[in-house]
Amino acid sequence: MRPARLGKGGAREIAAHLAEVYGTEVSKQTITAITDRVMEGLAEWQNRPLDSVYAVIFIDAINVKIREGQVANRPIYPALGVTVDGERDVLGLWAGEHGDGEGCGTPTGSSGRIPAAA
């Protein structure tokens, strides 16, 4: 699976944000190299095998501001599992459609989803 790339102007926006908030200059090439490595790791994480059984599964909602043309509040639903050995595992993250608690909506990522595994 080829990792997703930053959208048009993405590296430029990140560079401008870092300059404005932190007063630091980072080249678009450096930002692109970093995000490419992060996306490779994300693709590996998305396709990792999950345990067949989890002793406990927690599902929650975190409201965040997401910019899609304009800034909007959207819920992010994390699913966390605890294995039978007591290890914690992030199973997946999904972004809801609305900030009003109206269902889970579309999962996030390039296809709208950040799946933990297939």
Query: For residue 69, what pLDDT is reported?
Result: 80
Contact 9, 15 (CB under 8 A): no
The torsion defined by the Cα of 114, 78, 58 and 85, in degrees rounded to 10, comes to: 50
Query: For residue 104, what pLDDT is reported?
Result: 53
The one-letter amino acid code at 92 reads G
Q: Is the pTM of this model over 0.75?
A: no
Query: For residue 78, what pLDDT is reported?
Result: 94
Q: Kindly report the CA angle at 22 between 16 and 24, in degrees rounded to 5?
A: 65
- The per-residue pLDDT string of the chain (118 residues; one tens digit each, 9 = 90 and over) reads 444 556 667 888 899 989 999 999 999 999 999 999 999 998 998 899 999 999 999 999 999 988 778 888 889 999 999 999 999 999 998 888 876 555 555 444 433 444 444 3
